[in-house]
Amino acid sequence: MEKLSPEKVMAMLKEKGVEVSVEQAASILKFLRKLANIVVAQYLKGGKQ
């Protein structure tokens, strides 16, 4: 699976009318990856709440 680049995120957000800088896109990616890791870890632990 291909990782998203900040430039790709910028283009995707621009299509939706949201303008962000490369630095902001990188921060968004970092946050989403961290969130995804937490969700997967919770799922694998069987953490149903």
What residues does each domain of the chain span?
A: 6-45
The count of other CB atoms within 10 Å of the CB of residue 25 is 20
pLDDT value at residue 22: 96
> With bands split at pLDDT 50, 70 and 90, how would you rate the model's confidence at 17?
very high
Closest Cα partner for 14 from 29, 25, 4? 25
The stretches of 1-49 forming alpha helices (DSSP H) are: 6-15, 22-45
18 DSSP assignment: -
Give the pLDDT mean for 1-29.
93
Q: How far is CA 20 from CA 3, 9, 11, 29, 46, in A?
A: 19, 9, 9, 12, 36
Give the pLDDT mean for 16-39.
96
